[in-house]
Structures are given as structure tokens and as C-alpha cells.
Chains A and B, each alone.
Chain A
Amino acid sequence: MTGGSWLCLLAPLGGTILITLLGTRIPRVAAGWIATTSVFVAFGGAIWACLGVHSRPSPPPPGFEPFGFHPMPRGEITTAWTWLQSGNFHAGLQLLVDPLSTVMMLIVSGVGGLIVLYSIGYMDGDDEERRYFAYISFFVFSMLLLVEGGNLLLLLVGWGLVGLSSYLLIGFWHERPSAVQAAKKAFVMNAVGDATMALAFFILIAHTHSLSFGSAFSVHLSSTAVNLVALGLLGGAVAKSAQIPLQTWLPDAMEGPTPVSALIHAATMVTAGVYLIARTHPIFEQARTIELIAAGTGALTLLVAGLIALVQVDIKRVIAYSTMSQIGYMFLGAGVGAYANGMFHLLTHAFFKALLFMAAGLAIHALAGEQDIRNMRGLGRLMPFTKWCFLAGALALVGIPPFSGFFSKDSIVASTINIGWYGWIFWACGIAGAFLTGLYTFRLWFLVFPGEPSPFVREHHHRHGRLEGSLTMLVPVGILAVLTTIGGWLQWSPRWHPFTDWLEPAARTLPAAVPTNTQEYYTSAATVLAGLAGIAIAWAIYSERTIKIPAAPFWRRTLECKFYVDELYDAVFYRPGAAIANGLRREFEEPVVLQAGPDLGETTLEAGGFVRRIQTGLLRTYVLFLAAGAAGVVLAFLIAK
């Protein structure tokens, strides 16, 4: 099973190196196939590792260990070599295979493989396909390092590397200034999170002298220290997962190619925050306040993102805001202690969000790059396959049974009930979020797919061959559509819960976050009804046009400006910084630093002009000085005597 984890990690890295070294000696399509193969080999490794974990004996019963957490039940750490050593601190190049990491490995390499395959068709004809495929397999490697890393240091390395590959891929079309800006923004926002995480790790090292999962978690820290560590980790998670208040980079990241949005900014990287909370849950459980702040952040984000998604007109941005909203649900689940439910939503979200992005990619591809949904009416008539796949994804997103979102989202909302009085606030947020999800998702659907094709669509739509896209694009979309439909049947919390059982040894759900079956049923009914109500209103507004959109210009503008968060950050961070820099340039650099050079030269010249008068050129002057000097020395000796 450890062999599987190493294979899983190193195959995409091998793909990257191969594509980079072969360069232009291979045809462009070959680069795509190398990347795809390497990621699918990684998927094979992940299955191998997963079967290995499965064959391990079951974990001891709950309450068996003193801290309620056993370092690695049913898991194993393999160490290649000691990577860093400093005093009594050392960190190995080690991988962790346990139920949690194998789930993530399967998601990253499985969904990742499908998306890389899709990229072959989507990126066909781009000038720099090889670079794209090198980057994307590097991303898969980084993400696998993040989820497989056997200690917090390697996790941080993976964390930084996914940030880097995200930056490279958002800015892939580097001739577009907006893409470059978006890439920089994503990188800076993520760097904030990386920094808080690094600070948390410093505190951990100072107190426990270790960053390994087992020993760092089993030591009891003082409550201040553990709160600070949890807060630092939460900062990293919030930045990577685009939650409030570090959410502004994700919509802009849609400047990257659509498969990148599907892979990095929907299915894998942005959900890393949820993985981080589940992985470090022993720390969060000691800092329960911080954990609840995580849940509150999730609840707030899912509402805010849902509201903003209502007014966006770019098809990818709508889906991006829905991603933020869904990750809000995952944070809510992980924050209240229902780690398995959060992870299950991560899994189903990876299916249906990748599907939505890739279906949207098919539409964008067919319309020669158009992304404005106001121009897309009636596309379904021309692209029936895309239409049905998108519908499956949309229903899963809203959480309509039997699609996968129903099974994962409802159990998250239900798990908030029992945690205390604030649980009801979270619960209400979850239900309201479901309503908003129905509304914005089906606004998108009714604007784009049904009805007669608009003139714009008729004019710009063009088929690539007989089908709606190349086979490499259609096959992954079809597979994901099937997974989106049936993937949720894996677990229905009130009845059967193999996924929760599987994760039990790695991240046991807190008792307070386990609802009764009745609560689950009522919650499911409420979320589904809220979702259906959202769909019905979207239908009435955007399809039948029986309800007018309320004209509330203030609110509309606020939402269109995304609650002015960008402007706020601009005013709070950028402008003062720029003002100080400009002021220093005007007041210090230009008058002082830049003037120092010429001043120094002139002073030296003046001094030289003064001193050179001593050099008369007359021998007798020199002799006189010499004699006077000698006489002076003699006199000095005489006086001293």
C-alpha cells in the first residue's frame, strides 16, 4: 500500500519532467497524452493504496485511546529519508497513507485524470499546449503531495506548490493583462494564508519540537497556544478555499483555461482547506472556539457567495461563486465536527462541479470563447448532450434527490442542529443557502439552455465535427455526469454510512455533530423544498417572466460589486501602501538617495581643488616642508624630554 502512495505521488511528477525534457521533440498531442497517462497511473496507485488500507484491521473502538486520537490507526507512514534536521527537530520526506489521505488521493487523481483528458480536446490548437500540460501534471503532483504529506511540513510544501501551480495556470494566457492580474491576486491572497500557517507551525515547533501528525497532536498545549495554532491553520484554510474574508481571488481566477477552473478552482485545490481542518482536527477540537469560527465563516460565505452569484453574468463566475458557496457548506460541516460529512460533500462536489465547469467549457468552446450568459439563450437546442449533463450537475448542486448533492449537503445541514443554540443559526443559513443555490443555478440554466436559440447563438455556434466537441472532451463529461447522478448513493446518513465509517479512524465525527434520524429527515425535506422553491422562482422569473426582478438598484449594485470587498481591500491595504511608497519616493528617495551621488562627487572635487594648491611644483617648497617637518619632530622630542 505504501508502494501505491509513492507511485501515486511520483507519476505526475514524472509526467511533468518528461514533457519538459522532451520539449518540441514530441508532437503537441503527445504531451497531453503523457500528462493524462501519468495522472491515471497515479489513480492506479491511489486504488492500490486504498485497497491496502482496506485490508488493514479495523481501528480500536471509540474511547480506547487516552486522547481520543490515536496517531495513525489503520494508516501507515513511510519515510524515504530525513529531509531536514536542526537540533532536536527533524522532518522526513514521508508519506502518510490512511483513510483520509486515500480518499483525497482518489479524488485528486481520478477527477484530475478526467479533467486532464478533457484538456486534450479543450486546449487543442493553443500555441503552448506543452507548457499547459507540464503545469497541470505538476499541479496534480503538488496536490497529491499536499494530501499525502506525512507531516505538517510536507503538507505546507504541497500547500505552497499548489499555490504556485495555480498561479501559473491562472496566468497561462499571459498575453492577457487581466489573466496576469488575476494570477497575481490569487498568489498574494494565498500567500497571506501560507504565512499564517507557517506561523502556526512555528508555535507548534516551539511547544512540541515536532511537526509530525502523531506527536504534534497528542501533546496538550496551553489554551492560548492551541488557539493561536488553530487560528493560523484556519487562516491558511480560508485563503486556499476562498472563504470570507480572503475570497476575492477565486472569481478572478476564472481567467484561466476552463479545465483549470474545473480542476483547481472547483474540484481539488480550493477544497484543500476542508482537508486541512479534517486532517488537523485534534488541534481544532482543543480550540473549539476557533473551530466554530470556521463553521461560522462557512455559513457566512455560503450565503454571501450565493447572493453574489445571483447577479453575475459570466457563466464561469456564476459557477465560481457557487463553488465558494459549496465550500462554505464543507467548512460548516467540518467546523461543527462532522468531518466525514464535509469530506463527503467534497467528494460529490468534485464530481458535479467539475461536470458543471466542463459542460460550461463545451458551451464556451462551441461559442468561440463567449462567456456572457445573456447572449447564450437557447443553446440547449444545438447542444443536447451538454444540456442534459449540465442539468444533472445543476440538480446535484441544488441537492435534488437522487443526485449526489442531496446526500452530502443535507447531512451537513443536519449535523449542525445539536451543537448548541448557534446550531440553529447555522441550520437556517444552510437552508437559506439551499434556496439561493436553487435560484442562482437555475437562473443560469434558464438563461442558457432552454428555448429558441438567440441570434447570437445561431451566428456564433459552430460544431467541431459531428459531435458537440471532440471525444476526449465528451467522454470525461459523460463519466462525470454518471458519477454526479449515482455518486451520492454511496452514503445516505440515516440509512447507510460506509463513507463515515471509512473515515472514522482518521477523523471521527464529534458526538455533538451526529443528528438523529428524524432530524435528518426533516432537514432533508426542508433543504429539498428550499431548493425546489429556488428553482420555481428562477423558472418564474427567467423562463416564464411572470415575476419581475425586484428593482432594488442599491442592492443590485452592491451585489454586482461583490459587497465592495475588493474596493475595501484597495482602500485599506493597497492605497496606504502605495501612498507610503510614493511619499517615501518623493520625500526621501528623490531628494536624499538620488541626490547623494552627485553631492558626494562635488564635495570630493572641491576638497581636491583645495588640497592641490599645496603641490607647487617647486622643489624648494617641498624641501622647506621637509625641513620644517624634521625640525618639528626634533622640537617635539626635545620638549618631550
Chain B
Amino acid sequence: MFSLFRADRVLAITRKELYEGLRNFRFPLVLGVVAILSILSGLGGAQYVTFLQNQNAFGPIGAASPAIDYGALFGLTESRGLSLADLAILYSPVISILLSADLMSKERDSRTMVKLISKPITRSEILIGKSLALVSVLVAVGVVSPLISFASLQASLGGTVQGEDLSRLGVFTLVYILYLLVWGMIGLFYSNLFKKPITSYLVSILTFLVFSLLWANITSVVANSAATSVAQLESEQYMFRMLSITYIFSEVALFVLNPHYLGVNGGQYTFDWFKTTTFVGSLSSVWIDIVILAGSFVVLWVLNYKMFGRMNITPQG
């Protein structure tokens, strides 16, 4: 079995990966793009809130929350395009994939993997070192993105922040990081599976397209062919949709950030502008989703560990 890992060897790999990412401007580029998108999502959100306030859409909630309903703001899926939800759900997996899909394949393609495994370092140390570099950048993205978005919103609208909003934003950030990590592990999986970085990138992007953008259409077709009633159709559509981590995370984001989402009934979300649920109530609706996301991350990491541990490294990589 594998030996226990040594921190100095793991950190040597992590350091090398981070240095490489900084040297080829990949990390600064990713963080820069994330920062710009986050600012835009904050400003776009502020504009939308102003519009809703003018329409008196918040109604009695405005009276209960004298400043701004931040929770509602971050769950505003109506502002499709550049809301924080869009940024988190749709754009971030691409960032995860860009950072992870060549982690192993680039070493095999350039044959540096041969050199690496000939050194006194276990394969688990190589994988942990690379994962650590990936995790540290994704955590940075996961923390910085909501913070910037929130700060730009705050700067634009002013007002005071409610304590519960901070709790919601904190939990959202943690789940967002988990979501980024799951996509990172999917990229790493393809990076283990394919030797050519271009192949692992393309397959990762294809997976993202299928499970994020096309998934609703696919599940509709599948559910339509099986359902015998409208109620059954909605229920099955929901069931199939939740096989995608994108939709699992989407549900968590909606419920954690927006107190007006009250529950799931027959495959339909119960939403009411004039009612709110508590933070704990929101969490209780989606705790199973959070567990599934965490479980996916663990399972995928173990799968990568097993794959890399059994991988044959040939002279060609």
C-alpha cells in the first residue's frame, strides 16, 4: 500500500504547480476574469434591485428589512445573464475545468511524469500536491467572487447588512467552493484518463455543456417519454434534473440565498415574495444536496487517487 505522505514533498509539488500557474499568467488571468465578472454581477444586481424597489416588488419585506433584501438579490434568477447565481452556476465550472483538466495530462504529454515518478515521491503525494494547488486557487476564486460581488453591490446601494444575510452568504460561499471543487475533480478525472491535455479539456467542456446547459432539455425528453401525467412529468423532470451537480448546486444556491424559496413540492419550487423562511429552514430544505455535493467531491477524489495509483507510466508518458 501507499506510504504515508510527507508534507515537504507534497508542498514541493504544490509550490511547483502554483509557480507554473503564476508564471504562465493562468492564475492571475482566471482571478482577474472572476473579479471583473463579480463586480459586474454586483452592479447588475444593484440595478435590478433598484428596478424592483421602484416597482415596489419587495412590498412588506421592504418594511421588515429596512435596507435591502440581500438574500433575495443573490437569488434573483430572473436577472439571467450576469447575476451572482449565473456567475457561480454557469461560468465557474469553466474556471474549474481550465485549472484542472491538464493537471496530470500535461505531465504525461511532456514526459515530466516519468521523471516525477522516478523520484522518491509516492503517487499519492503527487496527487495530493497537485490537488492542494488546485484547491487553493479554487478556494481563492470561491471566496473572492462572492465577496467582490457583495462589496460592489453594497457600494452601489449602500444600506446596512443584515446578520442573516451574512450567514446565508457564508454558507453559499462554502457550498460554492464545494461546487468548484467537484468540477475540479471532474477535470482531474479526465486529466487522469487522457494523455493529451487538449483531449481532457475538450471532454471536460463537453461534460459541462451536457450536464449544465443541455441537461434541462435532455431530462425533458427523457421525462416526456416516461411520464403519463403532468404531475408525474414534473416530478420525473425534477428527479432527472437533480442527477446533475449543476442543478443540485443551483437548488442549494436558490434556497440558501433567497429566503422566499420555501420548499420543493412535486418537482416544483415553492416561491412567495411575501413569505420568508428562516436561514435554518432554508438549510433544512437543501442539506441533502450539500451532502451529495460533498460526497461527489470525496468519491471523485478517491476515484482519481485509485486511477493515478494504478496508472502505467510509459517512456512516452
Asked whether A and B interact, the reply is no
Using a CB–CB cutoff of 8 Å, the interface residues on chain A facing chain B are: none
